Amino acid sequence: MILEGLRMILNNVSRYVRDTRLLLKDNSIEHATLLAMYAGEELGKASLLHQSLEKDQPTVDLQLFRGKQAHEKKMAEARRLLGDSVLLQSSVLGRARFPFVLGAPDVEATPELRMDCTFVDFREGKWKFGALFAAEHLDRLLVDLETQTSLILARL
Interval 61-103: pLDDT, tens: 888 888 878 888 888 888 888 875 444 333 333 444 555 444 4
CA distances from 120 to 34, 74, 126, 128, 131 (A): 14, 27, 10, 6, 11
Q: What is the pTM of this model?
A: 0.78
- Dist. CA 148–CA 78, nearest whole Å: 10
pLDDT at 102: 44
**Ordered domains of the chain (ranges, CATH):** 2-154 (1.20.120)
Q: Give me the residues paired with residue 90 across strands.
A: 95
pLDDT at 89: 34
pLDDT at 132: 60
Mean pLDDT of successive 10-residue stretches along the chain, which has 156 residues = 93 97 90 87 94 83 84 85 55 43 54 77 86 68 92 94
How many residues comprise the chain? Answer: 156
Q: How many CB atoms lie within 10 A of CB 134?
A: 13
- Dist. CA 123–CA 65, nearest whole Å: 31
**Closest-CA residue to 133 (of 107, 109, 100, 102):** 107
The b/e string for 7-43 (b: 16+ C-beta within 10 A; e otherwise) is: eebbebbbebbebbbebbeeebbbbbbbbbbbbbbbb
Please give the single-letter amino acid code of residue 90: S
DSSP alpha helices (H): ranges in the chain? 2-25, 29-53, 67-82, 111-116, 136-154
pLDDT at 93: 38
